Amino acid sequence: MEATLLSEFIQLILPKLSSLAFAKYKLHRSIKDDIRFLEKELRMIHGAIDDHQLPTWKVDKGCVLSLSIEELREVAHHIEDCIDRFIYQAACEQDASLLRRVVRYPRDMQSRQRLAAELHLLKKTTEEAHLRKERYSVFAGQSSPMPAEESAYSCASDPRILDTDLVGIDIPRKELLEQLQEGQQKLLKVISIVGSGGSGKTVLARVVYNSDVGQRFSVRAWVSAADRSPRQVLVEILQELGRPVSDNSDVGSLAADLREHLHKKRYFIVIDDMRTDHWGAMESAFKADNGVSSRVMVTTTVHSVANACSSGNGYVHKVRRLGKKHSKQLFFKKACPKEYSGYMEPDSAAALKKCDGQPLAIVSMSQFFRKMGWPTRSSCQKLCRQLGRHLEKDETLERMRRVLTHSYASLKGHAPKACLLYFGLFPSDRLVRRKSLMRRWLAEGFVHTESSSCENFDMLLDRNIIEPIDVGSNNEVKTCRTYGMMREFILHMSTSQNLNTLFCNGAVGRKYVRRLSLHPNTPRISTSLDIDLSLVRSLTVFGEAGDANFDLHKYQLLRVLGLEECTYLGDDHLKHICNLLLLKYLGLGSAFTSLPKGIEKLKLLETLDLRRTKVEVLPIEVILLPSLIHLFGKFKISDKVKRTSELQNFLLSGQCNLETLAGFVTDQSQGFPQILSHMKKLRKVKIWCERTASSTNLSDLELAIQKFIHDEKEETHESRSLSLHFDEHCSEDILNSLKEPCYLTSLKITSKLLELPRFVKALRDLRELCLSSTKLTAVLLAALTELRSLKYLKLIADHLEEFIIKDQAFPRLLRLCFVLQCPTLPKIEEGALPYLMSLQLICKDLVGLADMKIEHLRCLKEVTLDQKVTLETREAWEKAAKEHPNRPKVLLFKTIDPTESEHTDHSVDSEPEEHEIVEASVDLEEPEQVFDSQMLVNKGSGSYAMTKKRKYSAVQSSSNGEASSSFDDMGTARCLLVPIDPGL
């Protein structure tokens, strides 16, 4: 895996090396020849590494190979340092005046001479490294093969786990046994069990398979699909059933043979550990309408595989983590010898936090602790601090190690591996915002396009390597995190390979650091810190950064600066930040109140995040940044604009690359409305219209919005989002002045709406709509049913007039949310909302079903109610859900005190789609179990929350009321979902 990281790094710096040969740098021919030589050498190294990937942590790589990789990594780092230093100097030259360039000409020539000398030395170093490896390779031999039993990671049920060791399995077992029961339609059902490696999928499937219900099937088979082709899986099934198999049979003939054998038989077949989508090739073997309610059960770590297998008449069960009670019970059963059962209960909190409710992690850690003499000899805290080193080498943790290594190795390509290890920069208790994370990946150079950034994130999510926490109303993941033991793997891998460096215990083990993360509650940094800061590419600070000697001007090669959660650095440090000429990502925190004009020097800056700052006035120099793509905050432009002609020329020449402007305030001052219409690449705009806005500014605003939503003759399908907030004294008449043709994919309006603005009805391809008003009239609501492309609709009001959702209304709507003060809900006719999957009714005064009939909603997956509804109302909805063919889940919103939030949300007013969510804690006797939020992502059960200043939490678990994770939506709410206890 060290080789994999090196290969990714080489792939990252190759374009940089090639760029030095560009004419603009005016390099001598001999220098360009050295550049081309190094470029070819690096490509060969990259190819050689790809041809020799190392399978696991513990494989014997050989000392020569390890040293060679380490030496090549140093060479690659030196090459990048050399390139970036030269590019920094070139940027300084470009920024200097003519007089200064003349004065500095001798120094610049020396810079090119140093570049020539460094490149020549690197060329010589590369040749020496190659000769050294060749010279000693005769002693190295080949990598030692893995033992046969370890050559392939297996998810098979561990024979060491006894039935008495199973904890927290009753509820999921009950849910799955219900799925085995014969249905009214007598159809085949494919049940997929999905979860991260080591979550107990196979154990759960084995318990169900061996149950009384499972043994009632006349034909049964259990096979493993790990690292096997569809043909091999079909062959094993046939052999399990005692059928002869021809050696030359292909998949088609095997499937036909199996289908014939299973005809009119009630069978139960388990396919364990399916890692890729083989179902498409094998599906024909299992006839869907065999008339006897047969079952196929698949276990997998991949959500897309689970969804493919269980599409149609299927069921996806997301394995939940064990809660605190069951985790502690299992840990002490395995870790503490019987003779110490009466021993004063030792502290196990640190170990349980590392395990994070993963059964395999708990069993492995408990066995390791027992071996180390816990609880009488070894300290829990000490063992946990050194867990990364033990996880790499200790034999007791071997199975856990193979699970983690397989998850990492299963990622296709180098980029997703680097993206995964980047999570190591964030503290374990922090939720990571998806969009900010992906912008950082782009700035780091791990990925080169926004689409590839999304693909890598989705790959990590799909494979259960990271887990979503907050899922918005548009089904988009907002925040995520890594789970306990995977985080230990990430930390050890990223730090040992010098990808990340953490300063969280007062010591940094390396002098040459590339990505530095300063965590809270650490000793203050001073000049005594033995780090070459000039080589740091990424700096992220949580909490206090240090004293006044923390000199940002030393970070010359910095590309990413994340100070959003930094409470120490402020305006006094901005002059140094403005000299970081290679900076691509800049996020500032609450200590910053203004921006200097010197920010114009950041010509490479792509993302500027001011949402947590107190910056209210934006200097025009920010708009003039040629590389800026994303700008976040809540600000206006200064009235004292002295560079009007320069701004006009910049905008008219098409140099402005802004795609996100979220957002600006329009009032009596001149500013954004006048320039917005000239920003041709905008895709997302957020506007606050305040009561002080003049009629002239409103006219300018109307013109700007009209140009933004204008639908070009060539039909586009790219996302285009608009959010408009009118305060109670600001007229929204401009909405009725907007004309067609117009195009938006997402629209949010907060205003006093009496009817739906005409332009909304005319919007082509509108998919997401959120309306917030004191009162929503029947006329407005009826007009909404005409929006044929709408997929997500959220309505927020004190009062909702009565209306009927008629047959054929909302033909594409997937999620519908009502956030109301008064419990007036629409009536739903049969044939309306044919594809609705999620229905949220957030109204504390809701009484019973409120005349809302859900039996006609054939695709319904979940219903969400306010936590404060009465017991009778809960029971009514639970009864209606049980009588529904899909048996949708009934969830509850639970109100929490926002003052209990561990992390303050500063971004609510700036970009609700990305704000951080506080994960509420619920004090229950029963253990926590993690909410099936990934199913929301892949199966389409989105969740919504209040957008007013009330904060909600949503907790979902199984029927015993266990709490779990949180997610959020377009508004400002916090949410956890709690399912209703059917036993009430």
pLDDT tens per residue, range 475-504 = 788 899 998 889 989 988 888 777 877 776
Q: Mean of the pLDDT values across residues 42-57?
A: 53
CB 837, CB 817: distance < 8 Å: no
DSSP, residue by residue, 699-737: HHHHHHHHHHHB--SS---S--EEEEEE-TTS--THHHH
Quickly count: other Cβ atoms within 10 Å of residue 185's Cβ.
12
- Render pLDDT for 602-649 as a digit per residue (tens, 0 to 9): 999 999 999 999 999 998 899 999 999 999 999 988 766 566 778 888
Indicate the range of 228-242, 734-748, 958-972 predicted with least confidence. 958-972
Element (H, E) at 350: helix 349-355
Nearest partner of 432 among 417, 419, 444, judged by Cα: 419
Q: Cα angle vertex 569, ends 567, 573, to 5°?
A: 165
The SS3 assignment for 551 reads: coil
Nearest partner of 433 among 587, 320, 616, judged by Cα: 587
State the Cα–Cα distance between residues 984 and 874, nearest whole angstrom.
9
Instruction: Inform me whether the pLDDT recorded for 325 exceeds 70.
Output: yes
Q: Give the residue with greater pLDDT, 165 vs 615.
A: 615
Pairing state of beta strands 189-194 and 314-318? Answer: parallel
State the Cα–Cα distance between residues 4 and 9, nearest whole angstrom.
9
Q: Mean of the pLDDT values across residues 739-759?
A: 91
Whole-model pTM?
0.83
Dihedral (CA of 419, 423, 425, 431) sign: positive
The SS3 assignment for 517 reads: strand
State the Cα–Cα distance between residues 16 and 459, nearest whole angstrom.
27
Look at residue 718 in the predicted model and tell me its pLDDT.
85
> In the structure encoding, which two tokens stand for residue 287, read together?
């006839």
Look at residue 860 in the predicted model and tell me its pLDDT.
92
pLDDT band of 851, cuts 50, 70, 90 = confident
Q: For residue 933, give the amino acid letter.
A: S
Partners of 586 in the β-ladder: 561, 608
Instruction: Inform me whether the pLDDT recorded for 168 exceeds 80.
Output: yes
Partners of 815 in the β-ladder: 792, 838
Work out the mean pLDDT of the chain and round it to a whole number.
Answer: 77
Indicate the range of 303-312, 345-354, 388-397, 767-776 predicted with least confidence. 345-354
State the Cα–Cα distance between residues 501 and 490, nearest whole angstrom.
12
pLDDT band of 963, cuts 50, 70, 90 = very low
Instruction: Inform me whether the pLDDT recorded for 17 exceeds 80.
Output: no
State the Cα–Cα distance between residues 155 and 225, nearest whole angstrom.
10
Instruction: Inform me whether the pLDDT recorded for 152 exceeds 50.
Output: no
Q: Give the residue with greater pLDDT, 492 vs 911.
A: 492
pLDDT band of 36, cuts 50, 70, 90 = low
Task: Write the DSSP symbol of residue 543.
Answer: E
Q: Give the residue with greater pLDDT, 945 vs 424.
A: 424
- Render pLDDT for 193-250 as a digit per residue (tens, 0 to 9): 999 999 899 999 999 999 999 999 999 999 999 989 999 999 999 999 999 888 888 9
State the Cα–Cα distance between residues 547 and 524, nearest whole angstrom.
7
Nearest partner of 863 among 838, 842, 827, 900, judged by Cα: 838
Residues 6 or more apart from 214 whose CB is under 8 A from it? 177, 180, 208, 220, 268
**Distance set, CA 518 to CA 302, 426, 504, 524, 563 (Å):** 34, 9, 6, 10, 10
Residues 6 or more apart from 572 whose CB is under 8 A from it? none
- Render pLDDT for 675-688 as a digit per residue (tens, 0 to 9): 888 888 999 999 99
Look at residue 153 in the predicted model and tell me its pLDDT.
43
> In the structure encoding, which two tokens stand for residue 238, read together?
């046939």
Q: Mean of the pLDDT values across residues 111-138?
A: 66
Indicate the range of 205-219, 255-269, 544-558 predicted with least confidence. 544-558
- Render pLDDT for 343-366 as a digit per residue (tens, 0 to 9): 655 677 888 888 888 999 999 988
- Render pLDDT for 174-203 as a digit per residue (tens, 0 to 9): 989 988 987 667 889 999 999 999 989 999
pLDDT band of 443, cuts 50, 70, 90 = very high
Beta strand ranges found along 734-867 (DSSP E): 742-743, 746-750, 763-764, 768-772, 775-776, 792-797, 799-800, 804-805, 815-820, 827-828, 838-842, 862-866
Half-sphere exposure of 45 (CA within 13 A, CB side): 31
- Render pLDDT for 713-732 as a digit per residue (tens, 0 to 9): 667 778 999 999 988 766 66
State the Cα–Cα distance between residues 892 and 975, nearest whole angstrom.
9
Instruction: Inform me whether the pLDDT recorded for 139 exceeds 90.
Output: no
Indicate the range of 104-113, 318-327, 361-370, 477-486 predicted with least confidence. 104-113
pLDDT band of 305, cuts 50, 70, 90 = very high
- Render pLDDT for 762-784 as a digit per residue (tens, 0 to 9): 998 899 999 998 889 999 999 99
State the Cα–Cα distance between residues 536 and 501, nearest whole angstrom.
10
Nearest partner of 197 among 438, 407, 467, judged by Cα: 407
Partners of 271 in the β-ladder: 223, 298
The percent of residues above 90 in pLDDT, for the chain, comes to: 32
Q: Give the residue with greater pLDDT, 873 vs 331.
A: 873
Look at residue 151 in the predicted model and tell me its pLDDT.
40
Partners of 315 in the β-ladder: 191
**Distance set, CA 644 to CA 637, 640, 648, 694 (Å):** 12, 10, 6, 21
